Amino acid sequence: LPHSALLPALLGYRSRGWKEECSLLHLLLKEGPCHSNPCHNNGECQLLPNRGDVFVEYVCKCPAGYAGTHCQKSCAVLLGMEGRAIADAQLSASSVYYGFLGLQRWGPELARLNNNGIVNAWTSSNYDKNPWIQVNLLRKMRLTGILTQGARRAGWAEYVHTFKVAHSLDGRVFVFYRDENQDRDKVFPGNTNNDGMKSNVFNPPITAQYIRIYPVMCHRACTLRFELVGCELNGCSEPLGMKSRLISDQQITASSIYKTWGIDGFTWYPHYARLDKTGKTNAWTALNNDQSEWLQIFQGNYDNTSHKKNVFEVPFYARFVRILPVAWHNRITLRMELLGCDE
């Protein structure tokens, strides 16, 4: 196609007069694709080096909290410290404090935001001069922020007053986070008490599999609870509506339904399969424990309360999604949420 026809075709315009089309092409080549800023949510349009093509390419540099080709997708999902999508085995630390005659272990697996109990946070050893706590996210992810809390130990408030963040792609080589165009490591402000929550934003965002938090100044002891904020690299990991009920009851079907003792009032309907649903009948249960063929098997849950997150490394487009249980404990029972985005 000649340029006067190619440009409208690419941009989705209907055919116009050739003079108008040539004028539009001239404007685009003169002003560039960033002239009207195609990036959403205050994203910054940046031109790529011109390779001699007719059309100049660009990328959108997204602010913290957004992702996608045009910064159109939110990237502010809680990654799973509090919700336990991040498993205990993914957490490690340089040291651990043992209290009350060595019987209380303040381990990294306890460093979950809003964690409760007498022993409810991570505390480093008193002898650790360079303490850190680490999260292995199991895959590269985009991180846009962190939430931190202290805790109370033996009646005394303890918290991290300031800290640094380091990140890694392989778990061996770590780089400390720095603000853009700065030549020194960023020192983040932390907490001022044991209960309050402090939020910090990574701008620019971090792309990493491993995240380490290095306390710099601590009150009484380096005691920490925290949550990581971000999204999958493709920015397409928003809850689609099982828990929030944007997905209606009528949209949810199943191969069979189980009734406890055959009583209608104790029916485990498909639309009960909503994440975190409560009540006496609070999930979907199948009538029979039957296997079906499965193309790819995802790891499921190991208890009845924790969340287990599985990621489709190659996302798929679909109108209908069917879950086929392969293995189960006692009965096939499920609550779930789907993650994705509008294209």
Residues in contact with 284: Cβ distance below 8 Å, sequence separation at least 6, in sequence order? 254, 257, 268, 269, 270, 271, 272, 273, 333, 334, 335
Q: How far apart (Å, rounded) are the C-alpha atoms in residues 64 and 213?
A: 19
pLDDT at residue number 343: 58
Q: Confidence band (pLDDT; 50, 70, 90) for 267?
A: very high
* Average pLDDT over every residue of 98-127: 94
Which has the closest alpha carbon to 162: 143, 189, 135?
Answer: 189
Average pLDDT, the chain: 83
Same-domain status, 165 and 227? yes
Does residue 224 surpass a pLDDT of 70? yes
Same-domain status, 56 and 104? no
Does residue 273 surpass a pLDDT of 70? yes
* Average pLDDT over every residue of 168-185: 93
Q: Note down the domain range covering 114.
A: 77-232
What's the gap between Cα 314 and its chain centre? 17
| Domain boundary pick from 232, 253, 278 | 232
Same-domain status, 210 and 131? yes
Residue 320 lies in a domain: yes
Least confident among 21-35, 40-54, 161-175:
21-35
| Domain boundary pick from 18, 35, 62 | 62
Same-domain status, 117 and 40? no
* Average pLDDT over every residue of 21-48: 73
Same-domain status, 18 and 36? yes
Q: How far apart (Å, rounded) are the C-alpha atoms in residues 269 and 248?
A: 13
Does residue 170 surpass a pLDDT of 60? yes
Q: How far apart (Å, rounded) are the C-alpha atoms in residues 295 and 227?
A: 34
Least confident among 19-23, 41-45, 209-213, 242-246:
19-23
Same-domain status, 141 and 252? no
CB neighbour burial string for 82-97, b if at least 16 within 10 angstroms, e if fewer? bbbbbeeebbbbbbbb
* Average pLDDT over every residue of 202-226: 96
Sequential DSSP letters for 1-15: --HHHHHHHHHTPPP
- Structurally, the chain folds into a number of domains equal to 3
Residue 291 lies in a domain: yes
Q: Regarding predicted confidence, which is higher, 257 or 14? A: 257
Which has the closest alpha carbon to 152: 217, 104, 206?
Answer: 104
Same-domain status, 243 and 211? no
User: Do the Cβ atoms of 235 and 75 come closer than 8 Å?
Assistant: yes
- Whose structure tokens read 């990581």? 228
| Domain boundary pick from 62, 88, 103 | 62
* Average pLDDT over every residue of 115-140: 96
HSE value, Cβ hemisphere, 13 Å, CA-based, for 133: 31
Same-domain status, 81 and 224? yes
Same-domain status, 188 and 261? no
Does residue 228 surpass a pLDDT of 90? yes
Going from the C-alpha of 10 to that of each of 16, 24, 34, 160, the distances in angstroms are: 14, 12, 16, 53
Q: Confidence band (pLDDT; 50, 70, 90) for 295?
A: very low
**Which of 28-37, 63-72, 176-185, 284-293 is modeled with the greatest confidence?**
176-185
Identify the CATH number of the domain in which residue 185 sits: 2.60.120.260
Per-residue pLDDT reduced to its tens digit, 57-107 = 788 888 877 877 788 877 888 999 999 999 999 999 999 999 887 789 999
- Counting Cβ atoms within 10 Å, is residue 271 exposed (0-12), middle (13-18) or buried (19+)? middle
Q: How far apart (Å, rounded) are the C-alpha atoms in residues 271 and 268?
A: 8
Does residue 5 surpass a pLDDT of 50? no
Residue 240 lies in a domain: yes
Check the CA dihedral 79-85-87-90 and report its sign.
negative
Residue 67 lies in a domain: no
Residue 7 lies in a domain: yes
Residue 72 lies in a domain: no
123, amino acid identity: T
pLDDT at residue number 19: 59
Does residue 4 surpass a pLDDT of 50? no
Same-domain status, 264 and 278? yes
Residues in contact with 210: Cβ distance below 8 Å, sequence separation at least 6, in sequence order? 134, 135, 136, 137, 167, 168, 169, 170, 171, 174
Same-domain status, 213 and 81? yes
Q: Confidence band (pLDDT; 50, 70, 90) for 22?
A: low
Does residue 165 surpass a pLDDT of 60? yes
Q: Which residues pair with 163 in a beta bridge?
A: 188, 215
Residue 179 lies in a domain: yes
* Average pLDDT over every residue of 224-237: 85
| Pair type for strands 133-149 and 188-189 | unpaired
**Which of 29-33, 115-119, 301-305 is modeled with the greatest confidence?**
115-119
Residue 68 lies in a domain: no
Same-domain status, 83 and 215? yes
Per-residue pLDDT reduced to its tens digit, 307-333 = 777 777 677 778 888 888 888 888 888
Q: At what angle do helices 3-11 and 18-31 cross, to 10 degrees?
A: 70
